Amino acid sequence: MQFTAREDIEAPINAVFEMVADFERFERMAMRRGIDVRRMSGHMGVVPGTTWETEFKLRGKPRQVSIQMADCEPPSHMRFEAASKGMNGVTTIEFLALSQRRTRLSVGMSLSAKSLPARLLLQSLRLGQSRFRRQFQTRLSEFAREMEQRHIHGG
């Protein structure tokens, strides 16, 4: 199962890359949403091999997901691999300079099941796929507008 979304941002590619690479900010956002996040390695900078252990509830059940930055080539792309007991995921983030002040941010996510319960979860996601795709694009759009504001106001 794959999802993609893209958004054009009024900010230079290096600024957009740096904002996406602000892992501490994402960790705080996740914790505010009730997700337990522990960075296990890669405490400094944006380095392949950086890993996180997360724990959260999904459909009433506790889930653990390990996430690792598998690849990073500033300022053009990042790739993360996630693994849980029954599912694997890959998220690819690509940055494309459209001009000196405009960047296209593309995010792709693919999920695959390794167990029957995970296949059932993926199947239920497929049934609500159009809603999930809309939410995915909406969240990326909101994030893009926030990055533009942070770039304008230097935050």
Give 72's contacts (C-beta < 8 A, 6+ positions apart).
Answer: 46, 47, 48, 78, 79
- Residue 45, pLDDT > 80, answer no
Between 3.30.530.20, 3.30.930.10, 3.40.50.1700, 1.10.10.410, what CATH number should domain 2-153 receive?
3.30.530.20
Distance CA 65, CA 113 (A): 13
Distance CA 7, CA 5 (A): 7
- Residue 53, pLDDT > 70, answer yes
Task: Give the residue-averaged pLDDT of 4-33.
Answer: 94
Name the band, by pLDDT with cuts 50, 70 and 90, for residue 127. confident
Name the band, by pLDDT with cuts 50, 70 and 90, for residue 132. confident
Task: Give the residue-averaged pLDDT of 36-64.
Answer: 88
Considering only CA atoms, give the Rg of the chain: 16
Q: Which residues pair with 44 in a beta bridge?
A: none
DSSP single-letter state for residue 73: E
pLDDT at residue 42 in the model: 67
Three-class SS state of 68 = strand
Residue ranges covered by each domain of the chain: 2-153
Task: Give the residue-averaged pLDDT of 60-67.
Answer: 92
What tens digit of pLDDT does each residue of 73-115 get? 999 999 999 999 999 999 999 999 999 999 999 999 999 999 9
pLDDT at residue 155 in the model: 61
How large a percentage of the chain has pLDDT more than 90?
75
